[in-house]
Amino acid sequence: MELTIIQKIVVYALPVIFAITVHEAAHGYVAKYFGDMTAFNAGRITLNPLKHIDPFGTVVLPALTIMLGGILFGWAKPVPVDFGRLRNPKKDMLWVAAAGPASNFVMAVFWVLALKYAAFAPDAIAYPVSLMAEAGIKINLVLMVLNLLPLPPLDGGRIAVSLLPYRLARPFARIEPYGFVILIVLLFTGVLGSILQPLISLVGGLLSNLL
């Protein structure tokens, strides 16, 4: 049965908010673990979605991409991290950045298990839970793969800066002010979808086979 636009938004609402909230909170928690209290002091290490929601990136844009089809896309308010306050800034940056995509992988596993065991629930519950689980798998795989792209300020860009030697890391990090513009251009030209879709399918297939 084809869902209406309103039904799609209802199905995706909880998985999207949950995925983005946990992703951002994970960055803040790991930053605190490695010595930076910026996110903690700002009250951003929390599962309260209101602390992380960006009106356009978390609400409007995901709703538009659901209505128009294609890659589900959006963002939350970035958790503030002062990398200079980390005990070993260049090394610890990797773990802070990786925490977000790692949290999305864990949530994707959760939704795969929810989809698997929804079949044992009563029919009235099984169908909506299955739809929500499929949405949860999709959004978390999109966020994980998207954020691992090696483009600052995405998490993959910060991981690359952490791994590169200083002589390469410094010029690479200077891309960051333009990274968001590059990402939007890639999105609206269809290039981003062409890059992400095969990777999302690959990871989704591996996850399904493992579980």
Higher-confidence position of 68 and 90: 90
Can you give the chain as a three-state secondary structure string?
CCCCHHHHHHHHHHHHHHHHHHHHHHHHHHHHHCCCCHHHHCCCCCCCHHHCCCHHHHHHHHHHHHHHCCCCCCCCCCCCCCHHHCCCHHHHHHHHHHHHHHHHHHHHHHHHHHHHHHCCCCHHHHHHHHHHHHHHHHHHHHHHHHHCCCCCCCHHHHHHHHHCCHHHHHHHHCCHHHHHHHHHHHHHCCHHHHHHHHHHHHHHHHHHHHC
Compute the distance between CA of residue 140 and CA of residue 153 in angstroms, rounded to an integer: 19
**pLDDT, tens digit, for every residue of 40-53?**
999 999 988 888 88
Higher-confidence position of 25 and 64: 25
**pLDDT, tens digit, for every residue of 179-211?**
989 988 998 888 988 999 999 999 988 888 876
**pLDDT, tens digit, for every residue of 118-156?**
888 888 788 889 999 999 999 999 999 999 999 998 999
Q: Could you tell me the residue ranges of all domains in the chain?
A: 5-209
Q: Say if residue 1's pLDDT is above 70.
A: no
**pLDDT, tens digit, for every residue of 70-96?**
667 777 888 999 999 999 999 999 999
For residue 100, name the pLDDT band (cuts at 50, 70, 90).
very high
Compute the distance between CA of residue 21 and CA of residue 100 in angstroms, rounded to an integer: 10
Higher-confidence position of 114 and 7: 114
Q: Which residues are catalytic?
A: 24
pLDDT the model gives residue 57: 80
Give the residue-averaged pLDDT of 62-71. Answer: 74
Q: Say if residue 117's pLDDT is above 70.
A: yes
pLDDT the model gives residue 202: 92
pLDDT the model gives residue 105: 96
Compute the distance between CA of residue 107 and CA of residue 79 in angstroms, rounded to an integer: 19
Q: Say if residue 116's pLDDT is above 80.
A: yes
pLDDT the model gives residue 190: 85
- Dihedral of CA atoms 131, 138, 209, 107 in degrees, nearest 10, equals -90
pLDDT the model gives residue 136: 94
